[in-house]
Structure 1
Amino acid sequence: MVIRLILMLLALALAGPLRAETPAPLAPGEARLLILHDHGNPVVAEMVRLTLRGEYDLTVSLESLTFPNSDDYDWMQIDRDRWFQERIGGRMIQIFERDIALFPRQPGDLTIGPLVHDLTNITRSGVREPVSVTSGTTRLAVKSFPADSRPLTARRLVLTDELSAPPGRLEQEDILTRRVTIEALGAMAHHLPPRPDITQPWLISFTLPETRETIPTPGGPVARVVWEWQMRPRTGEPGVLPAIPFAWFDTDSRRVEVVAMKPIPFGFAGFTTASGAGSGTGPALRWQMAGLALLGGAIALVVLLRGRLPALGRGMRALRPGPHAAAMRRAAAAGDLIALRAAAAAHLAWRRNG
Structure 2
Amino acid sequence: MVKWIPVLLILLAGGAHADSLRLEVPRMRPVVGEMVPVTLRGEYTSRIALEALTFPNSEDYDWMQLARDQWRDEEIGGRTVRVFERRIAVFPRKAGPLEIGPVTHRLTVVRPDTLREPLDVTAPPVRLDVAPFPAEGTPLAAHGLTVEDTLSAAPGALRDGETLVRRVTLTADGALPHLLPPRPAMREPWLISFAAPERREMRPSPTGPVTTVVWEWHLRPKTGEPGVLQGVSIPWFDTLAREMRSAEIAAIPFGYASFRDNRTGAGGLSGGQAGVALLALAAGVVAGLMVVVAGLSPRRREDAWRNLRRLLPFDPTRRALKRAIRHGDLPAVRRAAERYLHRRRELGLPVSGRETAALDAVLYGRTGAAPGVGADKAATALFRHG
Q: What residue in structure 2 maps to residue 141 of structure 1? A: 129
Amino acid of the structure 1 residue aligned with 2:124: G
Q: What residue in structure 2 maps to residue 253 of structure 1? A: 241
Q: Is residue 198 from structure 1 mapped to residue 203 from structure 2 by the alignment? A: no
- Structure 1 residue 125, shift from structure 2 partner: 2.2
- Structure 1 residue 104, shift from structure 2 partner: 0.1
Give TM-score, length-normalised by structure 1. Answer: 0.70
Q: What residue in structure 1 maps to residue 24 of structure 2? A: 36
**SS at the partner of 1:168?**
coil
Instruction: Give matches, 1:333-344, under 5 Å.
Output: none
Q: What residue in structure 1 maps to residue 222 of structure 2? A: 234
- Structure 1 residue 69, shift from structure 2 partner: 1.1
Q: What residue in structure 2 maps to residue 120 of structure 1? A: 108
Q: Is residue 89 from structure 1 mapped to residue 80 from structure 2 by the alignment? A: no
**SS at the partner of 1:275?**
helix
- Which structure would you say has the larger RCO, counting Cα contacts within 8 Å and 6 or more residues apart? 1
Q: Is residue 243 from structure 1 mapped to residue 231 from structure 2 by the alignment? A: yes
Alpha-carbon distance in 1 for matches of 2:75, 2:213 = 45
Unaligned segments of structure 2, at least 5 residues: 1-12, 268-386
- Structure 1 residue 245, shift from structure 2 partner: 0.1
Percent of aligned positions with the same letter in both sequences? Answer: 50
Q: Deviations over 1:178-197 (max 9, x none)?
A: 00111111001111010011
Q: What residue in structure 2 maps to residue 180 of structure 1? A: 168
Structure ranking higher in helix proportion: 2
Instruction: Give matches, 1:335-354, under 5 Å.
Output: none
- Structure 1 residue 81, shift from structure 2 partner: 0.1
Q: What residue in structure 1 maps to residue 60 of structure 2? A: 72
Q: What residue in structure 2 maps to residue 3 of structure 1? A: none
**SS at the partner of 1:201?**
coil
- Out of 187, 190, 208, which is 1:220 matched to? 208
**SS at the partner of 1:190?**
helix
Alpha-carbon distance in 2 for matches of 1:276, 1:99 = 63
Alpha-carbon distance in 2 for matches of 1:144, 1:277 = 57
- Structure 1 residue 145, shift from structure 2 partner: 0.5
**SS at the partner of 1:270?**
helix
Q: How many residues align?
A: 254
Q: What residue in structure 1 maps to residue 159 of structure 2? A: 171
Alpha-carbon distance in 1 for matches of 2:226, 2:14 = 78
Paired residues of 1:40 and 1:139 also in contact (CA < 8 A): no
Q: Which protein is bigger by CA-based radius of gyration?
A: 2
- Structure 1 residue 126, shift from structure 2 partner: 1.6
- Out of 240, 263, 267, which is 2:251 matched to? 263
Q: What residue in structure 1 maps to residue 330 of structure 2? A: none
- Out of 19, 41, 53, which is 2:41 matched to? 53
| Deviation beyond 2 Å, 4+ runs, structure 1 | 26-30, 276-279
Q: Deviations over 1:16-75 (max 9, x none)?
A: xxxxxxxxxx94232111000123310000000000011111111110110111111111
Give TM-score, length-normalised by structure 2. Answer: 0.64
Q: Is residue 110 from structure 1 mapped to residue 98 from structure 2 by the alignment? A: yes
Alpha-carbon distance in 2 for matches of 1:176, 1:132 = 61
**SS at the partner of 2:259?**
helix
Amino acid of the structure 2 residue aligned with 1:178: R
Alpha-carbon distance in 2 for matches of 1:190, 1:39 = 26
- Structure 1 residue 149, shift from structure 2 partner: 2.9
Alpha-carbon distance in 1 for matches of 2:49, 2:201 = 35
Q: What residue in structure 1 maps to residue 87 of structure 2? A: 99
Amino acid of the structure 1 residue aligned with 2:25: H
Cα RMSD for the two superposed structures = 1.4
- Structure 1 residue 278, shift from structure 2 partner: 4.8
Unaligned segments of structure 1, at least 5 residues: 1-25, 280-354
Paired residues of 1:39 and 1:48 also in contact (CA < 8 A): no
